[in-house]
Amino acid sequence: MATCGSSSKTVAALSASGVLAGPIAGGQLVLLSKPLGGVLGIPGAVVGYIALTVLTVGGVTALFAVRRQVPSPVAGACALVAGAGFAVAGWVSAPWQFVVAVLVAGAAAGPLVVTGRALAFDSPGALTRWQIAMVAGVTVTAGMASLCYERPGLGLAGAGAALTVLGLGIVLAKHGVTPPGSLIVARGSISRRYLLGYAVAGWIVGGTVLPALHVLLFRWNALGAEQTNLLLLASVPAIAALMLPGPRIGAVVPLLILAAGGPVLVATAPGRVTLTIGLGVALAAAARAARGLDLAVRAEAARSHRMAALTALTVVIAGAGGLATVTALGEILGTGSGLTVLAIPALALAPLCVPRAPVRVSRSPLIAQVLEGEAP
């Protein structure tokens, strides 16, 4: 039987592995699509399509993990496979080898990410660390993209190597951890409005980040170190926002409305400073809203491993939809107009993202209300 210390270390290792496989390695595919295409001898847009395919494959395997028990040794094996795939993809120069490697890595990454999140839901501290680590992964991948722009495979290979080492440690651990009940809800169920809240948060972030970085490119199509540095700066406030206590569920609606203002600011006042501020507002407010939703879901459906996994998938799917929408509208109306349109459904749906009669709690001091995103 696993001890508390050993299980917590295993959960921490799974969370770190999910960050390496998701935001860091996956982020390298997106942010460095153009230079990776140069190494492979294919257009950068093709690498972007490959990254989208990897995300789809990972989503399918993650759904499978939602329906099955995935003990930590199996998740560790997934980390080993994903790490090896990303490491190989970072070193090869033949397109077919690259495609096979990243598809295998993506398929293994899906169960790894959702299992790590599901197990993190067992403890408020582990959940907070998982949330912070995921957002910090965006900061790290932006920095790696800036440093590795001339050698784009280096960051991908490095992330894969680190993931392989972590996976090996998880597999060889003396004590394993298994999400109970095949990832089913152990007590209670949650309002479907919460799932809508996750979708709105994902929609805003997914539709804002890459299009916002392209606003400064004008007639150029390739992201450079300048744009990835801006993403690095914009992601830091989101990390700080997750370190604050709360928020209460009543803060989620205003936070989502605030997040929707981020892409509008980017679209109406394009420039390095305003872009960084707008992107930072969108990331920080959306991350804070997602944290509030996580706390509410955990309170209403304790040890809800299935919901922990499904809510993460909801964010990813909605994010892909937001990006696709802005990209399509950008071809017709321009990226700025696409970012503005992105905010409209978010603003319309935000008031519907919490139950009409949330659990009443005592009023907190003014400073706590401000930190939690609520009006006094």
Q: For 83-103, how does the pLDDT look when each residue is reduced to its tens digit (9 = 90+)?
A: 999 999 999 999 999 999 999
Q: Which of 183, 203, 235 is the last residue of a domain?
A: 183
* Residue ranges in the chain whose pLDDT is less than 50: 1-6, 180-188, 218-221, 358-376
What is each CA distance from 109 to 63, 80, 82, 328, in whole angstroms? 12, 10, 6, 28
Q: What H or E segment, with its residue span, contains residue 315?
A: helix 305-332
Residue 25 sits in the same domain as residue 74: yes
Residue 96 sits in the same domain as residue 115: yes
What is each CA distance from 124 to 121, 128, 297, 310, in whole angstroms? 7, 6, 12, 18
Q: Helices (DSSP H) in 20-94: which residue ranges?
A: 25-31, 33-40, 44-67, 72-91
What is residue 372's predicted lDDT score, i.e. its pLDDT? 43
Residue 161 sits in the same domain as residue 223: no
Instruction: Give me the CATH number covering residue 5.
Output: 1.20.1250
Residue 337 sits in the same domain as residue 199: yes
- Domain encompassing residue 272: 184-376
What is residue 336's predicted lDDT score, i.e. its pLDDT? 87
pLDDT (tens digit per residue) in 298-317 = 877 655 677 888 888 899 99
Q: What predicted TM-score, i.e. pTM, was given to this entire model? A: 0.86
What is residue 188's predicted lDDT score, i.e. its pLDDT? 43
What is residue 176's predicted lDDT score, i.e. its pLDDT? 59
What is residue 3's predicted lDDT score, i.e. its pLDDT? 41
Residue 177 sits in the same domain as residue 286: no
What is residue 223's predicted lDDT score, i.e. its pLDDT? 59
Which pair of structure tokens corresponds to residue 317? 């799917």
